[in-house]
Amino acid sequence: MSEQLSAKDWLDQGLRILASRGFTALKAEPMAKAMGVSRGSFYWHFADVAAFHAELLKHWREIAAERIITGVEASAGAEPAIAVLLRRSFTIRAALERAVRSWAASDAAALAAVQAIDKRRLGYVRGLLVAEGLAPDVATARAQVLYWAFLGYALSGRTLPAAQQDTVLRELVRLALLKP
């Protein structure tokens, strides 16, 4: 790379490496080599690997929760926002989700990031369901069920044929919005 790398360049590369090779590959020297720069570029932006890991987890939260929420808010219209969210959530490649959750099994900071994003996502889904007229206790229960469905999808590493996936998503939306 001939241009100077930004901290975001390093973080984006870190997420790619995390998704493809796991958290043990998040080291300055191999990342720098893969990016065609010296380690000095890494240390220009991050005090050490632990600081990089902390920033990487923040970056993941931004991408895996906040950008999705912003996108849902921007594109919800005639279709319920929960339908937009479910369609987006169940059509992503989930390698990064699996990698971060694997990392969380052995790292307290990663576990805290996963717990924080789980809370954020659950709260958002609950809010969408309440906005659709569900009672708060029903919305809480359905948000949990929908989130467990997402995690099952993400952690399974399997995708469905498009027609089957469309059927599953329609059913999830129907169940989410079903009035008790």
Could you tell me what percent of the chain has a pLDDT over 90? Answer: 86
Retrieve residue 97's tokens.
Answer: 């989700």
Read off the pLDDT of each residue in 119-123 and give the average, rounded to a whole number.
Answer: 98
Q: Give pTM, 2 decimals.
A: 0.91
Q: What is the pLDDT of residues 129-164, one digit of tens each?
A: 999 999 999 999 999 999 999 999 999 988 888 899
Place of tokens 């895996």: 64
Domain boundaries, the chain: 7-177
Cβ neighbours around 105 below 10 Å, total: 10
Distance CA 55, CA 58 (A): 5
Q: What is the pLDDT of residues 42-76, one digit of tens each?
A: 999 999 999 999 999 999 999 999 999 999 999 87
CATH topology of domain 7-177: Tetracycline Repressor; domain 2 (1.10.357)
**Residue 3 pLDDT:** 59
Q: Where are the alpha helices (DSSP H) in 62-161?
A: 67-75, 81-89, 95-104, 108-131, 136-156
Read off the pLDDT of each residue in 74-97 and give the average, rounded to a whole number.
Answer: 90
